[in-house]
Amino acid sequence: MPSNKKRLYIALYPSGVVDNEERKYHWAFILGPKDEKDDNVPGIRFHVKNTPGGAWVYEEVPLPNVKNTDGRGWYYVGKKAAEGRYQNAAELAKPRPTFDLLNNEEIAS
């Protein structure tokens, strides 16, 4: 049975800002299947947007069809190794073990 692991892409979208060249585009992550043969290929867009009040808001937006978005381009980053990992924003915020090279020890960050 062929593998159809999810793929992670960085996508570029028009931001809607027209008077500022640096803010003309918006970046997001897209998670979708490797196999895109069906007419509708569901996926998820992960991104952070700046609200009019100045606050930043993280969003996970289900996409009914990743092949039909208003994105200007996608860049393949890699495949998702295990299904179910990194599906919960609270899980991502938990401390992760890291290695401190200066003190030669593992620490939780």
How does 78-105 read in b/e, with b if 16+ C-beta sit within 10 Å? eebeeeeeeeeeeeeeeeeeeeeeeeee
Residue 26 has pLDDT above 50, yes or no: yes
Which of left, alpha, beta for 104 (phi over 0: left; psi -120 to 50: alpha)?
left
Mean pLDDT (whole number) for 91-108:
76
pLDDT digits (tens, 9 = 90+) for 45-83: 888 888 888 888 888 889 888 776 677 777 778 877 666
Scan for tokens 């996409």, then name that residue: 63
Specify the pTM. Answer: 0.64
Residue 40, pLDDT score:
79
pLDDT of residue 1: 45
pLDDT the model gives residue 24: 85
Domain ranges of the chain: 1-80
% of the chain exceeding 70 in pLDDT:
83
Average model confidence (pLDDT) across the chain: 79
Dist CA 40 CA 7 (whole Å)? 16
Who has greater pLDDT, 40 or 20? 20
